[in-house]
Amino acid sequence: MTIYRMKSVGFITLLPIILAACSGSSSDVEQSTADEMNTAETQQPEYASLNSRTNDSSTLGGAGYSGYKKDGESFHGAAQVSGTLNHDTNEIQITVNDLNIIDEDGFDQNGRISNSEITLINLTEDKFDNHYEYVNVFQHNNNPYYIEGNDLSGQKTSEKHHIVAGIITNEVDVPLDGIATYSGEATGRYISLPADNLDESVLHNLNNGTSLVTVDFGQGVVTAELNNFDSHAANGEDLLIDEIIVRNMQITGNGFSGGDLEIYKDGAEIAFIDSTGDIQSHGALFGFDETQAIPDEVGGVIHAQDNENTLEAVFLAD
C-alpha cells in the first residue's frame, strides 16, 4: 500500500518530555520518557491473523451480497457482515442478511466453513492470490442460483451469497487523517437481458481483475477502481464491461458504503444500470499495519440492478 499523507504524532510524544524538562530534574525527564514509552507499547494495537492460534477471540466484520429466488420472485441486496472467531477453539460465526452460520471446528483444510445446513466455500485461493492475513472471500450456494440454464422464470427456490469477512479494524484504530492506497484483486459477474430475447438472461463472469482502493481518512471517503478483467467470456464472446468504479463511499467507523457507480467499456462510460436501478456497495477495513499505523487490508462488495441488468463484484486489496 502507498501512504500519501500520514498523521503527525511527534507532538503527542514530545509534550510530556518538554513539560518535565521545564518543571523537574533530568531524572524526572528520564522517568517521564520511560513511562511514555511503556504507555505507547501497551496501547499498541494487537491483531491476530485469521490463521493464528491464541487464547483470544476476534471480532469479525465485512460485507456481503445475497440473492434469493423463490416462486418466480427474486431479492438481491448487500449488507454488512458481523461475527466472531475464537482463536483457541477455532469456532467461527458469520452473519450477513438472514444467513447465519456457526462452525464449532472452524476452517477445514480447504478453508471452508460449514454446519449441518450451510457450507461457505473459500474463494480467496481460487479467485484471489490468497496472501491476505485478515480477510477471506466466501461463497454459499443453495441449489444453482440460475436454474434451467440461465432461465429466470423457473419456480424453484435458490439462493447465493458472496461474503467478504475477516478480522475487523477497531474503530479507535482508524486514522482521522491521511490518504492510503491499497492494491489487490477483483472478481464479479453481470447478467443482461438481450434485446432480441427478453425471456432469456445471459450471465458472464468477470475474472482475474485488479483493484485499486483509495481511502481518504481525512475526508472519510473511499474509491474502489476494479479493472483489467479478462476481455472475453469462456465462449469467446466479447464482454460488455471492463471497468467498474465506485467513488465517494462514506466511511462510518470501520466500514464504508454508498457512493457513485461508474461502469466502463473501452474507456467510455456506459449506462449498463439505468438511473432507476438499485445500487449498493459495502466494505470494511481489516487488521492493522503497525508500521504505517493504518488498517492493513480492505475489501468490499458491489451490487447494482435495474429491470434488465445486474452487476455484482467483490474486491480485496492490501
> Sign of the CA dihedral 256, 259, 265, 266?
negative
pLDDT 10s digits, 254-269: 999 999 999 999 999 9
Residue in the structure block whose three cell numbers are 434485446 = 195
Q: Flag whether 44 is in a domain.
A: no
Residue 65 structural domain:
57-317
The per-residue pLDDT for 155 is 42
Q: How far is CA 156 from CA 145, 196, 217, in A?
A: 9, 25, 45
> Is residue 223 situated within a structural domain?
yes
Instruction: Determine the pLDDT at residue 307.
Output: 82
Angle at 301 between CA 295 and CA 303, to 5 degrees: 155
Mean pLDDT by 10 residues, the chain (318 residues): 45 34 43 44 67 89 77 69 92 85 86 80 78 89 42 49 92 97 94 61 85 98 96 77 96 96 94 88 96 96 88 94
Residue 126: inside a domain, yes or no?
A: yes
Considering its fold, how many domains does the chain have in total?
1
Is residue 167 a contact partner of residue 48, using CB atoms and an 8 Å limit? yes
* CATH value at residue 247: 2.40.160.90
Give the pLDDT confidence score for residue 27 in this predicted structure: 44
Q: Where are the beta strands (DSSP E) in the chain?
A: 2-5, 57-70, 73-86, 92-96, 99-103, 113-114, 119-122, 135-142, 158-167, 179-192, 202-216, 221-227, 243-252, 255-257, 260-265, 268-269, 278-286, 297-305, 310-317
Q: Count of alpha carbons within 13 Å of 239, Cβ hemisphere only?
A: 25
Pairing status of strand 73-86 against strand 179-192:
unpaired
Write down the H helix ranges in 84-138: 124-127
In angstroms, rounded to a whole number, what is the distance separating the alpha carbons of residues 265 and 231?
10
Q: Is residue 308 assigned to a domain?
A: yes
pLDDT, residue 88, reads: 92
Is the separation of the CB atoms in 247 and 263 below 8 Å?
no
Q: Is 50 domain-assigned?
A: no
Residue 142's pLDDT is what? 58
Write down the pTM of the prediction: 0.79
What is the pLDDT at residue 111? 82
Q: Is residue 19 part of a domain?
A: no
Distance CA 111, CA 284 (A): 21
Residue 27, domain member (yes or no): no
- The predicted structure's pLDDT at residue 193: 67
Looking at the domain assignment, is residue 313 inside a domain?
yes
Backbone angles phi, psi at 160, to 5 degrees: -150, 140
Residue labelled with grid coordinates 429491470: 307
CA distances from 121 to 12, 111, 136 (A): 46, 7, 10
Distances (CA, A) of 1 to 51, 180, 291: 22, 7, 12
